[in-house]
Structure 1
Amino acid sequence: MAIRMKRRNHPDMMTPEQASHARAILPVAIVKAKTNATQLARDIGSGKDYVRDFLRGRQDSLGVRELQGIAERLDLSVGQILGDEPRELSRVPFNQDDESDRQVYDEDGSLDLAIKLKHRRLAPGEIPERNVVAGLGHGGTSEPVNVDGEVLDGVRAIWKLPIEYIRTELRAREPDLDIIAVDGDSMIPTLQPGDRVIINRSQSAPSPDGLYAIFDGIGVSIKRLELVTGSKPLRVRVISDNKNHGAHEIQIDDLNVIGRVIMKMSRL
């Protein structure tokens, strides 16, 4: 018999991988719970910006008490939020797979890909394409999938780029990257319906000015963000490149930036 050790507890501080996982799953879970980051922070007895600051990367970790409160409010476990569901030590016959390690396929393969991503089975250079349509005029979203009791964004495909290109040209790391498809006409001519964009989730502050994926409480949109110099409190101008669409300003504390757009893939 072989003994397989499972991680059994969570540290007081999140690891970078756990924080990245939490930032990926919490926006989806917040929408499903029909709340928002500000209200969630108040529900757990924290300042109104507590959850938003974490989602934007302004703080590295959630406190133990706050994490437990968020899990209870969103009907999740701490392990589901961290991507580190604890399990007890288990005995597995030698050369036999643990039942929980087996992959499950659905019709479009998105569940299998989500499982692969959850268990960090991506090879170097691989980047997941999330099953989310980034609405260019309206927020886009999709139904998440449930993997081992954990709510995840669906993964529609895995793309592979040369590692050297990711490191030197994109100046990024694979764990920080997602690919999403775009739709709508509000960012024409910069982005066309059907384009793919690569999002760097480690760049969640809206500076320097440029294209960013934002979460508006309903779904994901790609917009051009521009800091309003001299504004107090600091405001951000949210711009559509298509002149037929308007622009508006928002306080930076009310803006939820998922990540910076660092590359687009377009059909000629």
Structure 2
Amino acid sequence: MERHDNHGTIVTKIKLQMDKMGINARELADRASVGKSFVYDILSGKSTNPTSKKLMAIAKVLKVPLSYLISSDNCTYDMSGNDIFPIHHLDVQNSLSEHSNNFKFYLPADIKLPLDIKNLRFYHVKGDSMWPTLVNQDIVLVDTGDKIAHPVGIFTIIDSVGISIRRLEYVKDNQKIRLRIVCDNKQYSSYESDLEDVKVLGRVVWYARAL
């Protein structure tokens, strides 16, 4: 998993894409349905912690993946073709959420990943139960094709409050295999559960953090 936190780079990339499209900050804000002050604050350097959902809307208008905007790579992006792949939001049914048409995460279509991109969903971390590994409003990519906690890893699961992100590992209890469900934040309790009592949606394979 990766973390990206280069604010100067994101400003440069947004301005570059705006120049390519021939639009100004006001037009970008209008097309992305975000406040003009949100765009102005990013471009001026006043905003050091823009919300990920609004950045996704900005990326969609600029026709680039969000992963490109927030990466630390000093590279340009070719908009000459439809070379981005939409990643939809993860919901409780492990399908497209009702809001998926409004917010999508985009990846370069030619990205090389050791998994099927069609199985990927994105999700926003809620709360601090996985701190310091993941924090509130981090964006994670979830491989819904991998639901087996071997090797040990971080997964999205369904519990009593909806979708949660937890570290999972198999443990043996009296010759029976159970699932240990762990919060990285030690202020939250970890517990064990029978396999059939836990619905695993997929393995977290990547994350990004707002500036």
1:124 touches 1:174 (CA, 8 Å); kept in 2?
no
Which of residues 187, 195, 202 is equivalent to 1:244? 187
Q: Give the Cα separation in 1 of the matches to 2:202 and 2:138.
A: 17
Q: 1:153 to 1:216 in 2, by over 3 A?
A: farther
Q: CA deviation at 1:188?
A: 0.4
Match of 2:85 in 1: 125
* Structure possessing the higher relative contact order (Cα contacts under 8 Å, 6 or more residues apart): 2
Verify: 1:258 aligned to 2:201, yes or no. Answer: yes
Match of 1:220 in 2: 163
Q: Give the Cα separation in 2 of the matches to 1:257 and 1:205.
A: 8
Q: CA deviation at 1:173?
A: 2.2
1:186 touches 1:241 (CA, 8 Å); kept in 2?
yes
Gaps of 5+ in 2: 1-32, 35-81
Verify: 1:182 aligned to 2:128, yes or no. Answer: no
1:212 touches 1:260 (CA, 8 Å); kept in 2?
yes
SS at match of 1:175: helix
SS at match of 2:104: strand
Match of 2:107 in 1: 161
Q: Give the Cα separation in 2 of the matches to 1:231 and 1:206.
A: 19
Q: Give the Cα separation in 2 of the matches to 1:207 and 1:164.
A: 28
SS at match of 1:198: strand
Gaps of 5+ in 1: 1-106, 109-121, 133-140, 145-150
1:183 touches 1:194 (CA, 8 Å); kept in 2?
yes
Q: Give the Cα separation in 2 of the matches to 1:231 and 1:129.
A: 39
Equivalent AA in structure 1 for residue 157 of structure 2: I
Q: Give the Cα separation in 1 of the matches to 2:179 and 2:97.
A: 30
1:206 touches 1:257 (CA, 8 Å); kept in 2?
no
Q: 1:217 to 1:243 in 2, by over 3 A?
A: closer
Q: Give the Cα separation in 2 of the matches to 1:254 and 1:123.
A: 40
- Give the 5 Å matches for 1:40-119: none
Q: CA deviation at 1:174?
A: 2.7
Equivalent AA in structure 2 for residue 154 of structure 1: H
Q: TM-score, normalised by structure 2?
A: 0.54
Equivalent AA in structure 2 for residue 162 of structure 1: P
Q: Give the Cα separation in 2 of the matches to 1:249 and 1:178.
A: 26
Q: CA deviation at 1:263?
A: 0.5
1:126 touches 1:174 (CA, 8 Å); kept in 2?
no
Q: CA deviation at 1:129?
A: 2.8
SS at match of 2:118: helix
Match of 2:176 in 1: 233
Q: Give the Cα separation in 1 of the matches to 2:197 and 2:207.
A: 27
CA RMSD of aligned residues (A): 2.8
